[in-house]
Amino acid sequence: MVCVGTSPQERPLVVWIDLATPPQVLFFRPIVAELERRGHSVAITARDFSETVLLLKQFGLEAAVIGWHGGKTLVGKAFAILRRTGGLLAYARAKGFAVAVSHNSYAQALAASVLRLPLVTLMDYEHQPANHVAFRLARRVIVPEVFPADALRRYGVSESKAQRYRGIKEEVYLADFTPDPVLLPGLGIPSAAIVVTVRPPATMATYHRFENPLFDKVVRYLLGKPGVCVVFLPRVPEQGRRLVDEGFPNLVVPRAPLDGPNLIYHSDLVIRGGGTMNREAAVLGTPVYTVYKGRLGAVDRYLLDCGRMSLIACERDISHIVLRKKDGSPQAFGRPGLLAEVVEMILTTTESTLSKRTHHASTV
């Protein structure tokens, strides 16, 4: 006997989103809004790491804060992930979630597996070793169109399990970006200054386990240039204090977290050791250099190949950095329709699971 009822597409769902880093707050903010606009409920959990919790409060997103970062050592990371997995299990066990979604949250992947909860993971860097965990446990793996097919196969992802979206993930959440004209004056930066925003490498990440002396040389080169104002965004307070103590007159170390995309838009140049900020600059039309010393991912190679990013590979390249005021011509940001495309990929995974459950229940 087959029962007729509400189709999965019409059912309001409860979606569980887990956030582990500050950029993930920016990425999922419009996804949460779009899910809620479609009538679904969203529950958010977050790891207490860097500015993640502060950004959630800034955007008015409520979240259950569970767990912390494990530090630089692999043992510390593993312990923190396992402990956080236990916390997420306790949180999610009786919530009735339809699907778990994250940008490669390993703790959520483990918790969802134990709870037999469909997992959707998104990722845009193919050299992350822990992809082996999240990708294999996921029901759906969502990646940019330039993500290498051989990397997906290496992590156990079949073509039917993977879905690709156009462009890059930063175009998902920057489509509704609006510049804030008072940001730089609020930092005390003269309008005539060439503003260079720099951020150190993610040395605590599992894919970046070494120091980068080249980045330090780049920072000191910039601080020695007249007419340049360096906005330094430390990952940990000691990084900022070290430079402040040296008394550079053209150094700005913000006292509180800033709106990253707005700072990037109003900068004349961005230099970072890889990561989200570089790709945001490429989308927002700000010249950007990467000093990343690890293995470049396909997304960064794509941006380098099309001239939207430049690479500082050695000390000789430092003197070739172009320092000038950016052309402030208006432009469109993001990629129209991309947000809806990604949300559809998440929901179709859930709807497929519910359809199977409904069919099984109706034929018993």
Handedness of CA 207, 210, 214, 216 (dihedral sign): positive
Q: Select the CATH number that applies to the domain covering 8-175+336-363 from these four: 3.20.190.10, 3.40.50.2000, 1.10.10.60, 3.40.50.720.
A: 3.40.50.2000
Q: What percentage of the chain exceeds 90 in pLDDT? A: 69
Q: Residue 209 pLDDT more than 60?
A: no
The reported pLDDT for the residue numbered 66 is 97
Contacts of 335 (CB under 8 A, 6+ apart): 166, 167, 171, 172, 175
| Helix 298-305 vs helix 276-284: crossing angle, to nearest 10 | 30
Q: What's the whole-number average pLDDT of the chain?
A: 88
Please give the Cα distance from 211 to 201 (Å, whole number): 8
The reported pLDDT for the residue numbered 203 is 59
Instruction: Supply 214's token pair.
Output: 């080249």
Domain ranges of the chain: 8-175+336-363, 183-320
Q: Residue 194 pLDDT more than 90?
A: yes
Across 17-21, 70-74, 153-157, least confident range: 70-74
127: confidence class by pLDDT, cuts 50, 70, 90: very high
Fold matches, 8-175+336-363 and 183-320? yes
Higher pLDDT, residue 297 or 70: 297
pLDDT per residue as tens digits for the range 222-265: 999 999 999 999 887 888 888 999 999 999 999 887 888 999 99
The reported pLDDT for the residue numbered 239 is 85
Contacts of 355 (CB under 8 A, 6+ apart): 8
Instruction: Supply 209's token pair.
Output: 């386990």
The reported pLDDT for the residue numbered 226 is 95
Superfamily of segment(s) 183-320: Glycogen Phosphorylase B; (3.40.50.2000)
Please give the Cα distance from 302 to 294 (Å, whole number): 16
Please give the Cα distance from 162 to 142 (Å, whole number): 6
**What one-character DSSP code corresponds to residue 317?**
G
Higher pLDDT, residue 321 or 356: 321
pLDDT per residue as tens digits for the range 323-353: 999 987 666 677 889 999 999 999 998 765 5
Please give the Cα distance from 333 to 283 (Å, whole number): 6
State the Cα angle at 363 between 362 and 364, rounded to 5°: 95
Cα 223 to chain centroid distance, Å, stands at 28
364: confidence class by pLDDT, cuts 50, 70, 90: very low
Q: Residue 2 pLDDT more than 70?
A: no
The reported pLDDT for the residue numbered 186 is 87
Amino acid, res. 84: R
Q: Residue 10 pLDDT more than 70?
A: no
280: confidence class by pLDDT, cuts 50, 70, 90: very high
Cβ atoms of 346 and 251 closer than 8 Å? no
The reported pLDDT for the residue numbered 352 is 59
Place of tokens 């207490």: 48
Q: Residue 4 pLDDT more than 70?
A: no
pLDDT per residue as tens digits for the range 25-51: 999 999 999 999 999 999 999 999 988
Instruction: Supply 109's token pair.
Output: 């992947």
| Phi, then psi, of 231 in degrees rounded to 5 | -95, 110
Handedness of CA 30, 34, 39, 43 (dihedral sign): negative
Q: What is the average pLDDT across 103-124?
A: 97
The reported pLDDT for the residue numbered 255 is 85
Concatenated DSSP letters for 124-147? --TT-TTHHHHHHH-SEEEEETTS
Place of tokens 């690709």: 164
Cβ atoms of 289 and 310 closer than 8 Å? yes
The reported pLDDT for the residue numbered 1 is 30
* HSE-up (13 A, CA, CB side) for residue 157: 29
Cβ atoms of 110 and 133 closer than 8 Å? yes
Please give the Cα distance from 282 to 272 (Å, whole number): 12
